[in-house]
Amino acid sequence: MKIFFTVLLLVAGIGLAAQPVVLIHKDVPKDLSQKLRHDYLNVEGEVNEKPHTVQTAFERIYGQILETDKFRDYTVWNTLYLNEKGKIDYLVLAVTSGFRPVNGKQREESTVADSLATIISSRIAPYLTDFVSRRTVGAKTSIIVFVGFFTRPPREPHIKKDSVVHGLVEAVATKDTLKVKTLALGQNLLTSVPEVIYRFPNLEELFLGDNDIENVDLDMARLPKLRHLDLSKNILRDNSIAISKNKSLQLLNVQKNLITDIPHAARNCKKLETLWLGNNQLTGLTNASFSKLKPVKDLNFYKANVAVLPKGIRKMRRLEVLDLYYNKLETLPKSITKLKRLTHFAVSHNQVTALPKRIDKLKRVHTLYAHHNHLSKLPERITRMKELRIVDLGYNWLTTFPSQLVAFTNLQELDLSGNNFPEFPMQLLQISKLDKLHLRGNPFLGQDAERKYSEQLSQLKKKNIEVFY
């Protein structure tokens, strides 16, 4: 009998442990608060962006547990601490009000907010047991969801255009489908691509972002004019995207999914010019990843956890825009200089210690963003990049002014903020053309900088250069 009760208590304990713990923010002990922040740490630098499905789920929950029309000008901040299964381990909530200090209203509303928090915390737990954040499955994380109780002004109806359809309901109800060129199905709580899209044979733009779609199998023969496809903010993986061969699709947006490599489906799009893969975990990139992508002109790897950029990127010879912002790059492959059509090169917020020695081969680049890196000098041959108009080298490890910058005759904007120049870089006065100059955050800019360097600053301003210091 003792064994029976022991097992019963153990099972009951496991059941209780699986239940979400609901806490009011002001009552959370400091040590627990620190533990939650540590255990449910988000990806470095990533904003806690809540999926639309999660927002909608919480609005429904509050609609069930409260008579929300009785509470006006109150907002509940729900911090969800989610485990690897997308389930809630802890929910920490706080209620805020408008705090209008008129006739004692502030104190009254604060009291109501505290009472409301107590009511919610006592009722909400049973509604959370079946909740799953499908987009965050696989990693412990935290999300903040706001639920507001306030009188919303009537939403202005979107201007009806025969060429644009908003939402699944409107798509199903539309009769004259031949005129429709844009179908907006973002934030429609979709888990799959609806068959209704094929009712619009002249469709040019299809927006399916911020849903919970896990698989896409698109028959482009039935959408022969589709040129813009947005699949961002879904639950798509490498092998869950299928797009039949086509010569119409020009832009493919698969940002904020669960992709680790460039989807094979992109190679079926023979006219593809823009490929956005930012905010994925592109840890599976190889030289072969860049094969058969020659038409692409704009490649976005923004915040994609790229630690090594394969040399195979040289295959993308028509590339004009390369965005490598917020990755983990320490070096850049020499082969990047093969991208001779490049005009915009962005490698900011990495740990790059040097730009390619033969960067001068990128003769068409006019915009270079390399701020927030570990650059201490510039390659000598950079002086041959005569088209440079915008150069941002802010927040690097420069201690002496790169003399190469004087050679840029077409330079319009130069950012050297946050470096380590101990004195005013006199060579700045030699730059012939410049509209904007950023110098903030350098050691030489002390409290008396404006007096100490008044002559130099005056010379810059006489050249009609806007100086930020």
DSSP 331-395: ---GGGGG-TT--EEE--SS------TTGGG-TT--EEE--SS---S--GGGGG-TT--EEE--S
Give yes or no for residue 41 having a pLDDT over 90: no
The pTM (predicted TM-score) of the whole model is 0.89
Residue 195 confidence (pLDDT): 98
User: Averaging pLDDT over each range in 103-112, 363-372, 422-431, which range is the top one?
Assistant: 363-372
DSSP per position, 339-353: -TT--EEE--SS---
Give the span between the Cα atoms of 65 and 71, in whole angstroms: 13
Token pair belonging to 136:
């965050």
**Which residues on adjacent β-strands are paired with residue 80?**
91, 143
* Block residue for tokens 């004692």: 104
Q: Is 312 exposed, middle or buried (0-12, 13-18, 19+ CB in 10 A)?
A: middle
Residue 183 confidence (pLDDT): 98
Give the span between the Cα atoms of 161 and 175, in whole angstroms: 13
Q: H or E element: which one contains 25?
A: none
Output the CA angle 286-292-298, nearest 5 degrees.
85
Residue 406 confidence (pLDDT): 93
Give yes or no for residue 8 having a pLDDT over 50: no
Give the span between the Cα atoms of 399 and 377, in whole angstroms: 9
* Block residue for tokens 């805020």: 96
Token pair belonging to 298:
């704009």
Q: Which of 214, 223, 227, 224 is nearest to 195 (CA)?
A: 223
Give yes or no for residue 1 having a pLDDT over 50: no
Percent composition of the chain: helix, strand, coil (DSSP 3-state, to 5): 30, 15, 55
Residue 397: C-alpha distances to residues 393, 401, 442 (Å): 9, 11, 11
Please report how many Cα atoms fall inside a 13 Å half-sphere around the Cα of residue 216, on the Cβ side.
31
Which of helix, strand or coil describes residue 166? strand
Q: What are the backbone dihedrals phi and psi of residue 133, each rounded to the nearest 5 degrees, phi first?
A: -90, 95
Give the span between the Cα atoms of 200 and 301, in whole angstroms: 32
Token pair belonging to 249:
């699709």
Output the CA angle 89-93-94, nearest 5 degrees.
165
Residue type, 6: T
pLDDT in tens, 282-293: 999 999 999 999
Residue 19: C-alpha distances to residues 35, 50, 125, 138, 278 (Å): 19, 22, 8, 19, 35
Give the span between the Cα atoms of 83 and 102, in whole angstroms: 44
- Could you tell me whether strands 88-97 and 74-82 are parallel, antiparallel, or unpaired per DSSP bridges? antiparallel
DSSP per position, 51-120: PHHHHHHHHHHHHHHS-GGG--SEEEEEEEEE-TTS-EEEEEEEEEE----STTHHHHHHHHHHHHHHHH
Give yes or no for residue 151 having a pLDDT over 70: no
pLDDT in tens, 391-426: 999 999 999 999 999 999 899 999 999 999 999 999
pLDDT in tens, 339-350: 999 999 999 999
Domains in the chain (CATH in brackets) are 16-149 (no CATH), 157-335 (3.80.10.10), 343-469 (3.80.10.10)
pLDDT in tens, 52-87: 999 999 999 999 998 866 777 889 999 999 999 999
Output the CA angle 44-46-48, nearest 5 degrees.
125
Average pLDDT on 153-181 reads 87
Contact yes or no for 190/211 (Cβ under 8 A): yes
* Block residue for tokens 């947005």: 230
